[in-house]
């Protein structure tokens, strides 16, 4: 028994000594690592293995001068009518824009399928019911009459402002900054530009110097897009399609996303191709039988391409633009 007791004491002593030496070794290694880190930092060697930046809460100023505290990692983003940008960045919103007769159908396959809807005018009660942790608003006009104060009590609310909101690239870039996804923005824009360049080259080879117009028929009325907005910007600026006379003649101070045009004025349209977004199928049958429509250059050539109202041609954004380019390839490149 005495021998066993002595043996136990010896073993315990060895264990304590081992633990002590291990601790000393760790301290020494830690000190050595600290010194090495300091040396690498001072010499620039540490740049070879940069630390990953972690998202942090930040305070930014929006287009209306509000100082907005953006959460580090927003999980429940509400950005009504800006969903193209969210989908491009891989962000599923807490709710999606809707009107009485539908939603943005073209985005459903890009991550919005199954996302609950919210009214286009963002009723405060509906907004609160989704408990967003970040609200992004496109236009200043959407937060008039104390709406901004009501929204900001629900969640931090950032207003892009019309100057940014009317330029989808700028809007995508800003939203990417807010959501710490600037790298994703860079990748998306590079892919978009590469596709646009490819389609433009194919158009130049197959449909050089041919013009096209985009018409929207809704509520028994025609509207035409100009060269600066929505599908017009893609068609004329990104793809270099020739601008027809009626579009070129639109008064600069009267341009809107969609410009109302009478059937009589439409008679002057000399476009080689017409992309027709038909949101009023019943009334359009009567118009299509009108002599003015039948005598249009594109109609007589059989170059009218009818698109459903669910198509992307009424919208702006990376996804909308790429889908529009697919349609242009399909119809204009033979």
Tens digit of each residue's pLDDT, the chain (334 residues):
443 443 343 333 433 333 333 333 434 333 444 444 333 433 333 344 333 356 789 999 999 999 999 999 999 999 999 999 999 999 999 999 999 879 999 999 999 999 999 999 999 999 999 999 999 999 999 999 999 999 999 999 999 999 999 999 999 999 999 999 999 999 999 999 999 999 999 999 999 999 999 999 999 999 999 898 889 999 999 999 999 999 999 887 767 778 999 999 999 999 999 999 999 999 999 999 999 999 999 999 999 999 998 999 999 999 999 999 999 999 999 8
Q: Which residues contact 231 (CB under 8 A, 6 or more apart)?
A: 214, 225, 275, 312, 313, 314, 320, 324
> Coil, strand, or helix at residue 100?
coil
Q: How many C-beta atoms surround the C-beta of residue 129 within 10 A? A: 14
Answer with the one of 150, 180, 210 that is the final residue of a domain: 180
SS percent in the chain: helix, strand, coil, step 5: 50, 15, 35
> For residues 177 and 4, what is the distance between their CA atoms, to the nearest angstrom?
70
**126 is written with which tokens?**
């509906």
Host H or E run for residue 55:
none
Residue 48 lies in a domain: no
Residues 208 and 310 in one domain: yes
Residues 248 and 313 in one domain: yes
CATH number of the domain within which 65 lies: 3.40.50.1980
User: What's the number of domains the chain is made of?
Assistant: 2
Residue 99 lies in a domain: yes
Residues 261 and 157 in one domain: no
Between the alpha carbon of residue 38 and those of residues 107, 201, 314, the distances in Å are 50, 54, 57
Q: Are 324 and 231 in contact (CB under 8 A)?
A: yes
Residue 161 lies in a domain: yes
Q: Are 260 and 250 in contact (CB under 8 A)?
A: no
- The pTM assigned to this predicted structure is 0.82
Between the alpha carbon of residue 45 and those of residues 30, 32, 40, 330, the distances in Å are 19, 16, 5, 53
Answer with the one of 180, 214, 238 that is the final residue of a domain: 180
Residues 249 and 156 in one domain: no
Name the one residue in this structure whose structure tokens are 């002599």.
Answer: 291
């Amino acid at each position: 028994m005495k021998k066993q007791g002595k043996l136990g004491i010896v073993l315990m002593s060895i264990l304590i000594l081992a633990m002590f030496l291990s601790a000393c070794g760790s301290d020494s290694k830690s000190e050595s690592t600290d010194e090495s880190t300091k040396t690498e930092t001072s010499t620039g060697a540490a740049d070879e293995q940069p630390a990953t930046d972690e998202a942090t809460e930040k305070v930014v100023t929006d287009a209306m001068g509000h100082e907005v505290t953006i959460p580090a990692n927003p999980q429940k983003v509400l950005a009504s009518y800006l969903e193209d940008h969210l989908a491009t960045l891989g962000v599923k919103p807490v709710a999606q824009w809707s009107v009485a007769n539908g939603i943005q159908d073209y985005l459903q396959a890009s991550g919005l399928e199954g996302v609950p809807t919210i009214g286009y005018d963002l009723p405060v009660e509906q907004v609160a019911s989704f408990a967003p942790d970040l609200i992004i608003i496109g236009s200043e006009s959407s937060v008039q009459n104390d709406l901004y104060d009501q929204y900001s009590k629900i969640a931090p609310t950032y207003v892009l402002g019309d100057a940014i909101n009317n330029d989808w690239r700028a809007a995508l870039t800003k939203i990417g900054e807010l959501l710490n996804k600037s790298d994703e923005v860079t990748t998306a824009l590079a892919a978009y530009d590469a596709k646009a360049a490819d389609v433009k080259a194919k158009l130049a080879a197959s449909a050089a110097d041919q013009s096209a117009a985009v018409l929207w028929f809704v509520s028994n009325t025609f509207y035409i897009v100009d060269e600066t907005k929505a599908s017009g910007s893609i068609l004329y600026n990104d793809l270099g399609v020739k601008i027809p006379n009626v579009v070129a003649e639109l008064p600069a101070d009267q341009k809107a996303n969609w410009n109302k045009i009478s059937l009589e004025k439409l008679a002057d349209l000399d476009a080689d191709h017409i992309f027709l977004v038909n949101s009023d199928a019943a009334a359009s049958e009567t118009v299509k039988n009108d002599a003015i429509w039948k005598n249009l250059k594109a109609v007589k050539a059989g170059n009218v391409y009818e698109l459903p109202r669910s198509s992307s041609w009424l919208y702006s954004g990376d996804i909308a633009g790429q889908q529009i380019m697919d349609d242009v390839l399909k119809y204009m490149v033979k």
